Amino acid sequence: ELRGIVFTARRMTAVLLVYIISQISEFSFIRADVLLGASQKAGSTMDRPIRSGSVRNANQLTLADFANGSLNLIFATQVAEEGVDIQPCNVVVRFDLPKTATSLIQSRGRARMVNSQFIVMVPEMDQDERSAAEHATGLEANIVSALPNGEAPQAIA
């Protein structure tokens, strides 16, 4: 069963992707919501109505719904990369290229279930972004090789 996070660089992208997914009947099995940074103001014109009046409360509801299975996909900004308790995922997607190797590693770390998938989306014809993704992956490999046992931590769910 799907349990995943899609990371986006912009709040508006996360909100729009949730809306688009909800309109496609082939994706009716997806139950999605957004997880936004706390600086987002409730009622912003760029945002769908926040269901509880504040982003912090909406985020808590989203995380609780994801934990209990009411939601199976979260579209999130970098707020979900670290410091937020999120249930293990079997699919993690970077919709936008991460800006740093740290961001790449932190988002990849959300794919904690056994046999999980980590996907970085890069425009097919954008050679600069493809090179940046390959560079970030190389940096991650260098970091992993510097670990005491030379191996990345294994998924444990």
Domain ranges of the chain: 4-145
Helix (H) or strand (E) holding 145: helix 127-145
Residue 45: pLDDT band with limits 50, 70, 90: very low
Does CATH place domain 4-145 in 3.40.50.300?
Answer: yes
Q: What residues does 92 pair with on adjacent strands?
A: 5, 118
Q: Please indicate whether residue 28 or residue 108 has the higher confidence score (pLDDT).
A: 28
Mean pLDDT across 4-32: 94
Q: What is the pLDDT of residue 121?
A: 84
The amino acid occupying position 75 is F
> To 5 degrees, how large is the angle CA 12–CA 18–CA 21?
135
Q: What is the pLDDT of residues 113-153, one digit of tens each?
A: 788 898 888 777 667 766 766 666 666 666 667 767 766 55
Is residue 122 a contact partner of residue 130, using CB atoms and an 8 Å limit?
yes
Name the one residue in this structure whose structure tokens are 């899609």. 6
Round the CA-based radius of gyration of the chain to a whole number and report it.
Answer: 16
Is residue 6 a contact partner of residue 73, using CB atoms and an 8 Å limit?
yes
Q: Which are the contacts of 10, defined by CB distance < 8 A and separation ≥ 6?
A: 77, 96
Q: What is the pLDDT of residue 136?
A: 67
How much of the chain is helix, strand and coil, in % rounded to 5? 40, 15, 50
Tell how far CA 102 is from the center of its chain: 14
Q: What is the pLDDT of residue 74?
A: 95
| Per-residue tokens: 69 | 């299975």
Q: What is the pLDDT of residue 153?
A: 55
Q: Among candidates 14, 10, 114, which has minimal Cα distance to 62? A: 14
Average pLDDT value for the chain: 78
Q: What is the pLDDT of residue 125?
A: 63
pTM: 0.72
Instruction: Kindly report which listed range (16-30, 41-55, 91-105, 113-127) carries the lowest average pLDDT score.
Output: 41-55
Q: What residues does 120 pair with on adjacent strands?
A: 94
